[in-house]
């Protein structure tokens, strides 16, 4: 039996793994464990594996330990996609709201958690803890999905099957990821309100975009790539700060060449993918995140009232074709967005260069009035 190690997050003590008795980190090194070993682990945790006789099973009365049910009250399901489900919960002791993401336990889930645990930035969703469990929350609850989900996926393609990326040795284990709950909604909702006539100012749009870029810049400086930037994955926290979330596709830049094809085929949102992602190129770098930033910046600034208009404009943008009115009204922003949408990755500016340019603009004009230069 393995030693119990429980570490909680604090400002002074960065988050680390939480493991219960009898559970181990199977981060791809134990993929070839035998069925008998898996049954042994399950049996030792009090779970009926089906290998015991009826009389032996009748003696098992203790339910499996669940940190989730012990520590949280489930409020509602916020949404789900191809990479898991997200729930709104309340802590039983402190009565604080959190978001808990439940995903199948595999090396990609571990990668997301390790990235979250290492990120500490005001524009990235805050991580608190993660732990494995043998039960799937969806199988034991019937909570209806919210119709206005802060995590709801927009594109059908984003809910594609992910079975090709799941490690079979952990098919009955799930990873629970506790994160901050962002009650301010997501950027898709903000854009929809703008398009429906609740006009948002140009300066509001640029200040939001500046925070997004700052978060992306931090991710890149940490040696990671997000790979699935889109309005649904950009949230508004309780402090009204912009928070980049859903790091299910995050990867280390130096590892990209070995796994980009497999991950890209299974995940991501095609309408926001960079050309090199869509083409399934074997190698690419952090510039894949700059391309969707260009599309997001345009959406923040320009009104698109119908889905048909949006689809047409985004398709044109991928060819760097802009509405003439946009070019006249947002001349400096147009120049910046056009660079971000370059088909050649090396022609796109780095996130740090975009952030610096935005800071200079907003300092020169105090965040007010027309911004004429980039």
User: Catalytic: which of 38, 106, 158, 228?
Assistant: 228
Q: What angle do CA 128, 215, 90 make, to 5 degrees?
A: 30
183 marked ligand binding residue: no
- Is 204 part of the annotated catalytic residue set? no
Binding residues for ATP: 101
**Binding-site entries:** 101
Q: Which residues are marked as active site?
A: 228
């Amino acid at each position: 039996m393995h030693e119990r190690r429980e570490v909680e997050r604090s400002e002074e003590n960065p988050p680390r793994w939480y493991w219960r008795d009898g559970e181990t980190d199977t981060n791809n090194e134990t993929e070839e464990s035998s069925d008998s070993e898996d049954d042994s682990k399950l049996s030792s945790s009090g779970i009926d594996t089906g290998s015991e006789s009826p009389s032996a099973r009748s003696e098992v009365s203790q339910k499996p330990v669940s940190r989730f049910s012990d520590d949280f009250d489930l409020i509602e399901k916020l949404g789900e996609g191809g990479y898991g489900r997200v729930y709104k919960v309340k802590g039983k002791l402190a009565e604080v709201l959190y978001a808990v993401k439940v995903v199948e336990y595999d090396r990609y889930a571990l990668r997301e958690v390790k990235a979250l645990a290492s990120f500490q930035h005001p524009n990235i969703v805050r991580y608190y803890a993660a732990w494995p469990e043998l039960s799937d929350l969806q199988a034991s609850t019937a909570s209806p999905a919210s119709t206005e989900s802060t995590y709801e996926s927009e594109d059908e393609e984003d809910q594609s099957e992910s079975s090709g990326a799941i490690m079979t040795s952990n098919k009955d284990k799930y990873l629970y990821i506790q994160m901050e709950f962002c009650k301010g909604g997501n950027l898709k909702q903000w854009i929809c309100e703008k398009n429906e006539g609740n006009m948002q100012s140009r300066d509001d749009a640029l200040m939001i975009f500046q925070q997004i870029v700052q978060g992306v810049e931090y991710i890149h400086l940490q040696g990671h790539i997000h790979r699935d930037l889109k309005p649904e994955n950009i949230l508004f926290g309780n402090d009204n700060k912009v928070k980049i979330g859903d790091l299910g596709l995050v990867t280390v830049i130096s590892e990209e060449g070995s796994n980009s094809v497999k991950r890209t085929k299974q995940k991501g949102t095609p309408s926001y993918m960079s050309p090199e992602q869509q083409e399934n190129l074997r190698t690419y770098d952090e510039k894949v995140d700059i391309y969707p930033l260009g599309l997001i910046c345009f959406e923040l600034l320009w009104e698109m009232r119908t889905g048909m208009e949006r689809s047409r404009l985004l398709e044109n943008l991928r060819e760097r074709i802009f509405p003439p009115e946009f070019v006249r009204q947002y001349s400096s922003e147009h120049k910046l967005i056009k660079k971000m949408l370059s088909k050649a990755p090396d022609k796109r500016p780095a996130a740090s260069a975009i952030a610096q340019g935005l800071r200079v603009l907003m300092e020169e004009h105090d965040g007010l009035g027309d911004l004429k230069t980039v």
